[in-house]
Amino acid sequence: MRSYNKTLYALITILVVYTISFVAFILYSVTNFAFSDFYKRLDLRRDLAAERMLNGKENQKDWSITYLEELNNQREFIVEFDETGNIINNSGFNALLWEKVDKYGATNFKEGNTFYSTKLYQQPGKSYIVGVSAENYFYTHHLRYLQNLLLISLILGVLFVIVVSLLVKRSFIKPIYGIIDEVKKIGSENLYLRLREDNYKGVLHKLANTFNRMLNRVETSFETQKNFISNASHELNTPLTSIIGIADLSLSKDRSKEEYKQAMQKIVDSAENLEKKTNALLLLARTGYEKDTKLNFKPVRIDQIIMDAEMTVKAINERFHIKTDFSMLPDDSMKLKVNGLAPLLQLAISNIVSNACKYSPNHTAYVALGAFDKGVIILIKDEGIGIPEQELSYIYDPYFRASNTQHFSGYGIGLPLARNIIKMHDGKLSVTSTLGKGTTVRIELPTFRPVS
C-alpha cells in the first residue's frame, strides 16, 4: 500500500509540474510575442520621427497621426552630439536611462511599464539618437489579466488533479480493502469460504480468482493432511483383515498342498490389492487432489477400470454382486479413454460400488457406462436404504454418515475420497437418493483428446 501511495504521489507531482510548466510556457510565449510586437511598432514610429526631425518633413506627423494609432503615453525625443561625442542638446530623454542606450546602433529596452526604442542617426558633423517611448497597454492590462487567469487556472488545475487522484485512489483502494476484509474471515475452520469474484472487475477480478484458486489448493492440501490417516485406515483395513483371516484359517489345522496353494494365492491377491491402495493413497497425499500437480496422467480405458474395480470389490466381499451394463458403449473405443491415473480412478469407483453393495439388502450394485460428445458417464445405482433428503448436502463432508446407517460399518470417508479423485481428473460426481428406495451416483469424466 505504501508503494501504491508513493506511485500516486509521484504521478500527482508529475501532473502538477507539467501543469506549471505548461502555464509558464504559455505565459512566456505570449509575453515574448507582446514585447516583440510592441518593439516593432515603436521602431516604426521611431523611424518616422527621425525622418520628420532630421529631414524637416513636418507634414509627416500629420500622416502618421492619420494612419498610425498613437500609443499610450507616446513620447518622442532626440539627443544631439558633436563630432567629439559630447551632448549638445537633449530634448525629452531621461538622462538616468542613458546607460541603457546603445550609442552606436539601435536599442530596445523597458523601464517599468514604459518601453523604449532608440537608434543612432548620423549627418555631416553631427550625430543624433532619436527615440520613441510608450506604455504597452497589452502588457499593463491584457497580459496582467492573462497572468491572473493562468494563475487561477493553475490553482484550479492542481486542485482538480489532486481531487481526482484521491478519488481514483479511493475507488481503487476500496475494493482492495474489501478483498482484505474477506480474506481475514477465512481460517482453518472455514476454508470452504471464497471471495465473491463478481464484486470485482478487471485486474481485481483476476486477483480474487487467483486467491480462490489458492484457497482451493490450501483447502485440498489441508483436507488431505487431515484425512490421510483416516483414509489409509479405512482403505487398508479390509485387505489386511482378509490376509490375516486367510492365514489364520490356513494355520488352524493341517491342510492339503492344494488348499495351502489356494490360501497363498488369496493372500497374494489381497496383498496386491493392498499394494495398489497404498500406492494410490500415497499418491493422493503427494498430489493433494490437485490437478495441476499430476505427474503421470496418461490415457486409460474407463471400461477396463470399471472391470478392475468390480474384481476388487468382489475380492473384498464374496457376497457382493455387481451387474454391469455395457450396452451403451460407443463404436469408437477412443471415446472410452480418459486422461488420468488408473489406480486412483479404480479406488474411487470401487469405493462407490462397494457402498452400493453394502447398503443394499440384496448386496447388488448396478453399473452402467456410456459416452457423449466430450466425455464418459458412469452410473452406479443401488436399491438400498437411501439417504434422507435433508442430509444430502453433508454427504461429502469427511466422517459424515447418514442417520440411517447405524447398523452398517464404515467411517464416512469413501464418498469424499472418491469425489476428490474425480475432481482431480476434471470430472464431476453427483448423488441423487430417495429414502428407502436407493441411491444413484453419476460420474462424468472428460474424454482424452490428443494434442494435435
pLDDT tens digits along 351-361? 899 989 989 98
What pLDDT score does 67 carry?
58
What pLDDT score does 452 carry?
56
Total Cβ atoms within 10 A of residue 345? 27
Q: Is the Cβ–Cβ distance between 287 and 296 less than 8 Å?
A: no
Phi-psi category of 92—alpha, beta or left, where left has phi over 0 and alpha has psi -120 to 50?
left
**Domain count along the chain:** 3
What pLDDT score does 110 carry?
86
What pLDDT score does 364 carry?
93
What pLDDT score does 272 carry?
78
Segment 224-251 shows an average pLDDT of 71
Coil vs helix vs strand at 83: coil
Residues in CB range of 433: below 8 A, 6 or more apart: 386, 387, 389, 392, 439, 440
What pLDDT score does 292 carry?
47
Closest CA to 347 of 250, 238, 264, 193: 238
Note whether residue 152 is domain-resident: no
Q: Which helix (H) or strand (E) holds 129?
A: strand 126-135
Q: Are residues 206 and 73 in the same domain?
A: no
Distance of CA 127 to the CA centre of its chain: 81
Q: Are residues 124 and 193 in the same domain?
A: no
Note whether residue 338 is domain-resident: yes
Q: Are residues 332 and 203 in the same domain?
A: no
Q: Is the Cβ–Cβ distance between 443 and 427 less than 8 Å?
A: yes
Q: Is the pLDDT of residue 311 over 80?
A: yes
Q: Are residues 208 and 304 in the same domain?
A: no
Note whether residue 156 is domain-resident: no
Q: Using one digit for the tens of pLDDT, what is the confidence trace for 196-219?
A: 877 777 788 888 888 888 888 777
Q: Is the Cβ–Cβ distance between 427 and 339 less than 8 Å?
A: no
47 half-sphere exposure, CB direction, 13 A CA radius: 7
What pLDDT score does 353 carry?
92
Using the 3D structure, point to which of 91, 121, 144 is the last residue of a domain: 144
Positive or negative CA dihedral for 396, 397, 400, 403? Answer: negative
Residues in CB range of 300: below 8 A, 6 or more apart: 337, 338, 339, 340, 341, 342, 345
Note whether residue 264 is domain-resident: no
**E strand intervals along 271-374:** 298-301, 321-325, 337-340, 364-372
- Residue 366, φ and ψ in degrees, nearest 5: -110, 125
pLDDT tier for residue 450 given thresholds of 50, 70 and 90 = confident
Q: Is the Cβ–Cβ distance between 104 and 123 less than 8 Å?
A: no
Residues in CB range of 9: below 8 A, 6 or more apart: none
pLDDT tier for residue 432 given thresholds of 50, 70 and 90 = very high
Q: Are residues 438 and 304 in the same domain?
A: yes
Segment 162-189 shows an average pLDDT of 77
Q: Is the pLDDT of residue 164 over 70?
A: yes
Q: Which helix (H) or strand (E) holds 117?
A: strand 114-123
Note whether residue 407 is domain-resident: yes
**Kindly report the CA angle at 180 between 178 and 181, in degrees rounded to 5?**
65
Segment 272-281 shows an average pLDDT of 70
Residue ranges of alpha helices (H) inside 56-142 are 59-67, 137
Segment 65-82 shows an average pLDDT of 76
Note whether residue 85 is domain-resident: yes
What pLDDT score does 213 carry?
84
Using the 3D structure, point to which of 171, 198, 218 is the last residue of a domain: 218
Q: Are residues 136 and 202 in the same domain?
A: no
Q: Are residues 391 and 313 in the same domain?
A: yes
Q: Are residues 21 and 132 in the same domain?
A: yes
Q: Are residues 356 and 209 in the same domain?
A: no
Q: Is the Cβ–Cβ distance between 11 and 161 less than 8 Å?
A: no
What pLDDT score does 307 carry?
92
| Mean pLDDT, all residues of the chain | 80
Q: Is the pLDDT of residue 112 over 50?
A: yes
Total Cβ atoms within 10 A of residue 386? 19
What pLDDT score does 235 carry?
62
Using the 3D structure, point to which of 202, 218, 234 is the last residue of a domain: 218
Q: Using one digit for the tens of pLDDT, what is the confidence trace for 372-415?
A: 888 999 999 999 899 998 888 888 876 677 888 877 876 667 78
Q: Is the pLDDT of residue 180 over 70?
A: yes
Output the pTM of the full model.
Answer: 0.45
Q: Are residues 346 and 434 in the same domain?
A: yes
Q: Is the Cβ–Cβ distance between 316 and 238 less than 8 Å?
A: yes
Segment 327-337 shows an average pLDDT of 83
Note whether residue 237 is domain-resident: no
What pLDDT score does 232 carry?
63
Q: What is the domain-level CATH number for residue 307?
A: 3.30.565.10
Q: Are residues 131 and 202 in the same domain?
A: no
Note whether residue 299 is domain-resident: yes
- β-strand pairing of 438-446 with 428-434: antiparallel
Range of the domain at 402: 294-452
What pLDDT score does 301 carry?
92
Q: Are residues 134 and 200 in the same domain?
A: no
Q: Using one digit for the tens of pLDDT, what is the confidence trace for 419-428?
A: 888 988 889 9
Q: Which helix (H) or strand (E) holds 379?
A: strand 375-382
